[in-house]
Amino acid sequence: MFDKTSMLRRQAAAVVLFVFLAALTAGGCASDKGAVTPVVETPSVMAERVITGVDTRVASGEVVVSIQGSAMLTYASIPQSLPPGVVLHFPDADVADGAVQSPVDNAVVETIEASRQGNATQLKILLKDESEYEVVRSGNGLNVVFTSVEAQMPEVAVAAEADDEVPAEASVAEMTVEAEEIAVQEPAAVQAPAVQPVSVGPATVSQIDFTSTQSGASTILIGTTGPVGYKVSKKDEKTLYLKLSDTTLPDSRKRPIITTRFNSAVNRILPVQTEQMEGDALFIIELRDAVPYLVSQSGDQIEVSIDPSSVPPQKEDDAKLPSWKKAITEADVMAVPDAAGSDMAAFPDGATSAAPVQPEVMESMEPEISVGKSKSYSGEKIAVDFFETDIKNVFRIIRAVSGQNFAIDKDVTGQVTMTLQNPVPWDQILDLVLKMNMLGSVKENGITRIATLKTLKEEEAARLQYIASQQFSKEIQKAMAPMSTEYILISYSNAETDIKPHLERILTSERGSVSVDTRTNQLIITDTAEKIAQARAIVKQIDRITPQVIIEARIVEASSNFTRAFGVTWNAQTEGYPTVGQGNDSSTLGGVYGYGVAMDYGVETDNSIGINFSRLTGNTLILDAKLTALETKGTGKIVSSPKVLTLDNKKATIKQGVEIPYQTVEDGDVDIEFKEVELRLEVTPHVTADDRISLQVLIDKNDVGSITNGIPGLNTKGVETELIMNDGETIVIGGIIKSNKTFAESAFPVLSQIPVLGWLFKNRTRTEEKQELLVFLTPRVVKMDELKI
């Protein structure tokens, strides 16, 4: 009776409402026949999709959460790990009061919570423990099927017998959308028959493993002494941060794992823990390519699965692997990243594009427009099922998954129908949605703006036109800029040859000029203030003090015995140390002699044409006083010790010798001419950028040879070479040898001719003398401070 009465009342109310609407429509038509009444989407239309019921049942070892809807429900499922559960987003849907029923007693589902977020509804299914699940359509609704512990146990046993081979298809990306943070984890396989809630507490990293397959897929396995909370974020497209909360990283685990030569997308895994991280451990995963990845947790193990890369591994010669000490040092100073998504901005309904960018800012921003370009994707993988879903709600879900900031132009409209049962990267979904609706995106200062392609093209054309006008305006301003004349003094360079050619290239065409006053070595430049400032900068870089090099030479003439002895017992001394042997002393060589360092540089003198080079290494070295001592014994003689100071890249010449007179007869006239017999040493130094000295050495040694018709011949030797030395290092040039052989015989006439007995009446003398010239060169850089003018 009660139901029949209420039904009659509803019918009467419907009749009254129909009559009222008919009268209102007739009045509107009579007043303005040409007006078009816009269709406004009322809340009742927005709420056509209503979640009418949510209940739980247990069947065949599975726990099923059944979600009923008044119309076809579109959704996006996002797993979460702490607390374990599944979050379902239903765009353009409402939930009826009392629709969510308390779950029946089961081993998987703890509670079910529903909340409204604008025009969308969020359904959060919290679990007692992590469990695998599958979302299956059932009419207008959905069935979320969880595998119970009892059903999973046989699979675990089988997996244990099969050496723990877990198929890759079981990996599902998990994400937590709470407190505006995105945490990526994966449902874990149950490894123990007891159903216990996951306890998270302090733990220690006990395992870090890396494996890769022939296809290029790789897996990073991190084991801890207990379950830990973790968070994944991205520093850039090729760097992942995996942070483990309240986890200790032993020193033995802080070594980087270099994988540049593996067939994998991973280049390096760097475990880091510093005092600033407050007990958290960080794993920096460097990729060689931006590829998708999945993160899962199973008890006390965290697994990162990374897709193959198109970039091949490096060869052994090109790997250039860094030392682990250097890698750890770099990691210690690396800033700890913030939680992913911590700076996500709210995404209000009806968001419109930002205010127009001012021209001054527009030129520097250089926005990057993306119009569905072919590229690789590296975002987190999600599964979606949209049916005629408002496109702005799709962007809302992508924002929640990616943690990025989005701004949508007001003219962006449309609906999206998309079913992706297998998870794909969110950035690939975004590009696909843009292509389907003729939209584009542009990144500006950390915000991804979505607009129509027409709008973006018009803005880009306007931006380019503005830049062109700005450049034209600058050219006009330069052409109208006042001219001035300035004088620039040149101190160390030649203004005409060294400076002027560089300045002529930057002068304002048809207006600027530059000339040189050779008497004062200064430039006279007439141009705009900007060009004059540029010219001064060039002069400052070029007009610098030319380094000077002082070359100390010691020319020693020694016997062969002296040379051999000297080659074995060379000593080197340096200033400021306690003396050894002969004590502190100074000689014509200059310097103070300290401790002795044996230098075994033998000088070969087996031939008369060879010239040998030896080097005394070390800074500020001087030769031992044995030169003077051996000269006293008569086995050696210091011919000269010249010093010469020359500029960088300027040749210095040292000569030592005599002029030998000889007679020449020409047309009956006898003249005396001289021929030089000398040792000629030419050295051209160059100071390198790292304060070493490059020497170009030329040596010519002339000796008197045989005399023909009273004219002496010359025996010549020469060598030309180039070498690099440290500042203050000594080079020894030997092998310049002069030989003198004599043979004499004195005998008593007749008796000396008697065989055998004749040796008693005669005397033979055979002498052979070899002398060698040793040249010691010690270059030093002489630096001078520049004075400001």
Q: Give the pair of three-digit tokens for residue 554.
A: 């010691």
The Cα–Cα gap between 681 and 651 comes to 10
CB burial class (10 A; 0-12, 13-18, 19+) of residue 532?
buried
User: Residue 332 — pLDDT band, cuts 50, 70, 90?
Assistant: very low
Rg (the chain; Cα; Å): 46
What are φ and ψ of residue 206, in 5° steps? -115, -10
Q: Is the pLDDT assigned to residue 576 strictly greater than 50?
A: no
Residue 602 burial (10 A CB sphere; 0-12, 13-18, 19+): middle
Structure tokens at 630: 């051996």
Single-letter amino acid code for the residue at 369: I
Asked if residue 585 has pLDDT above 70, the reply is no
pLDDT digits (tens, 9 = 90+) for 352-399: 333 333 333 333 334 444 444 457 787 878 888 888 888 888 888 888
Residue 381 has what pLDDT? 82
Pairing of β 203-212 and β 247-248: parallel
Relative orientation angle of helices 426-436 and 391-402, to the nearest 10 degrees = 160
Looking at per-residue pLDDT, the higher value among 360 and 725 belongs to 725
**pLDDT > 80? residue 343:** no
Beta strands per DSSP E along 128-201: 133-138, 141-147, 174-178, 181-185
pLDDT of residue 45: 39
Spatial CB neighbours of 202, under 8 Å, sequence gap ≥ 6: 226, 246, 247, 248, 279
Please report the pLDDT score of residue 521 as a whole number.
Answer: 92
Q: Which three-class secondary structure state does DSSP give residue 155? A: helix
CB atoms within 10 A of CB 396: 23
The region of weakest confidence among 5-14, 30-39, 453-462, 492-501 is 30-39
Assign 76 a pLDDT band (cuts: 50, 70, 90).
confident
* E strand or H helix at 460: helix 453-480
Sheet strands (E) in 482-611: 484-489, 513-517, 522-527, 548-559, 570-573, 597-599
Q: Say how far apart CA 249 and CA 246 lie, in whole Å.
A: 10
Instruction: Name the token pair of 768.
Output: 């052979």
Of the listed ranges 341-345, 676-680, 714-718, the one predicted with least confidence:
341-345
Strands 548-559 and 762-782: antiparallel
How many Cβ atoms sit within 10 Å of the Cβ of residue 704?
A: 14
Task: Give pLDDT tens digits for 601-637.
Answer: 333 333 333 445 555 544 333 454 555 555 555 555 6
- Tens digit of each residue's pLDDT (9 = 90 or more) over 19-74: 454 444 444 443 333 333 333 333 443 447 899 899 998 877 788 899 998 888 88
237 vs 8: which has the higher pLDDT: 237
Q: How far is CA 107 from CA 128, 158, 231, 717, in A?
A: 7, 22, 27, 101
- Using an 8 Å Cβ cutoff, are 293 and 308 in contact? no
Task: State the pTM of this model.
Answer: 0.36
> Comparing 327-341, 434-448, 672-686, which segment has the lowest mean pLDDT?
327-341
Q: What is the mean pLDDT of the chain?
A: 71
User: Which of 611, 565, 569, 626 lies closest to 773, judged by CA?
Assistant: 611
What is the average pLDDT across 477-504?
A: 88
* CB of 67 closer than 8 Å to CB of 123: yes
pLDDT, residue 738, reads 64
Structural domains for the chain? 50-149 (2.60.40.3500), 203-306 (2.60.40.3470), 381-458 (3.55.50.30), 481-544 (3.30.1370.120), 636-784 (no CATH)
Among the residues of 285-418, which ranges form H helices?
324-332, 359-365, 391-402
Strand 93-95, strand 49-59: pairing: parallel
Task: List the one residue out of 174, 170, 277, 262 whose CA is nearest residue 220.
Answer: 262
- Residues 237-257, mean pLDDT to the nearest whole number: 87
**pLDDT at residue 158, as a whole number:** 35
Rounded to whole angstroms, how far apart are CA atoms 664 and 671? Answer: 5
Residue 241 to residues 84, 338, 410: CA-CA distances in angstroms? 22, 10, 36
**H/E run at residue 531:** helix 529-542
Residue 710 token pair? 């009273």
Most confident of 187-196, 549-558, 649-658, 777-786: 649-658
Q: Show the tokens assigned to 773.
A: 């010239």
State the burial class of residue 115 (Cβ atoms within 10 Å of its Cβ: 0-12, 13-18, 19+).
exposed
Yes or no: say if 159 and 116 are a contact pair by the CB < 8 Å rule: no
